[in-house]
Each structure stands twice: as structure tokens, then as C-alpha cells.
Structure 1
């Protein structure tokens, strides 16, 4: 295998459609599909695009919503501004932590209580 890349992250949610609209409004993802089993959201186009799949109970996922750890990270430009923007949208971001030479980050929780890791890279 020459190059392997992660293209999709999965997060358990109670209601895929409701969660999809929250992720779209708060983090800017485009909703690609949604039904009672799952919702697929996208960021970017083509080969460099990534997907986020929100899995509801009907999907058969064994993980329950409310993960205390992040399944992936959401990289943003301007970490401080992103934190302020999310706070302004009703999220309760943690303090920015980390090391500038490695990675800086903060966390928020989605409406299902899943921890989301917001990073500068």
C-alpha cells in the first residue's frame, strides 16, 4: 500500500438528522445524506475531502452517545477565533491547551455529550 488515508470518522448520536444539522450549523459541514440510521457530512471536495458519519441507534452501533474521548480531531485555522465563535454559538469550549510547536487544542461537546477535539493542525 503506497498511501493510506483516513476518509471517515464515526460518532454515535441519538438522532442522526438532528445531529447533522447541529454539525452543519456549528462546524460548517455539508450534509450529504441523512436517514434514521445515519447521517453523512462532508468537508471539502474530491480526493482531499473528508466525511463524518453520525451513527444512530438504528445503525446497530454498539457505542452509546456521550463519548468522553474524541474519535477524531477537527482542525481549524485560527484556534482562538474558532474558540470565540463556538462560545458565541452556545458551546462551552475548554481552555486552549497544548504546545504551539506540536499542537494546540480545546474541546467542546455536541448535543449528545460526545467530546469533540478542535485543533490548530
Structure 2
């Protein structure tokens, strides 16, 4: 069996981005370095790696598409935290058969897709 080990996202400042993701999505930082910060969901192997300029990645922050989704137990609570954090989450779309979802942006301008399952 093959599993995805980490989703990667470019950011300007790994430490401040890690703090924002930890607070907004209740992720747990397991490392914070200048080149990268790694956060976990609490389930082994479910990680988000934030890559800063020192990582050498050639992608600028501000992705206008969501390279992964964030699964939230409570969409309304996450939308509220995003609004409080200065993001402008979009409307909730979807249905009971597939999922409910909305998009937002992080402080680096990356598009985020938040889903309920």
C-alpha cells in the first residue's frame, strides 16, 4: 500500500505560518526551522510541511489553487476562526452525498480548500 506522507505548501516565514496553522486548524507543530515547519493532525503520517525560501523551493507563496484539502469536523467553527484571523472564507457549497466545502486563503495568499469529510 502507498500513502501520502506530507502535503507541501510554500510560505514566506515558516515559523509564523506554523503558528497560524496550529491556531486556525488545531494542527500540532513537530518542527519549526527556517527552511521548513512540519505540523501533524494527531494521526501518524498526516502532515503539512510549510516550505520557506531557505528550502530552495522554486514556488512562490500565493497559490491560486488548493494543492490539498483540510478536513474539518466543524466547518462553521473553522470558518469563524478564519474570519477572526483576517481571512475571508467563501460560502459553503456541496451536499450530503459528497461533502460540504469552502475555500479561503492563508496569510501568504495560498488558496485553501476546507471540507467536512
Cα distance in 1, alignment partners of residues 78 and 107 from structure 2: 18
Structure 1-normalised TM-score?
0.88
Deviations 1:1-60 (A, max 9, x none): xx22212100000111111111111111111111110001111143xx411000011111
Aligned residue pairs total 117
Aligned to 1:15: 13
Deviations 1:52-74 (A, max 9, x none): 00001111111110000111100
1:72 aligns with 2:93: no
Aligned to 1:53: 49
Larger radius of gyration: 1
Runs (4 or more) in structure 1 with deviation over 4 Å come to none
Aligned to 1:32: 30
How far is the alpha carbon of 1:84 from its aligned partner? Answer: 3.0
Structure 1 unaligned residues grouped into runs of 5+: none
Q: Note the aligned Cα RMSD (angstroms).
A: 1.4
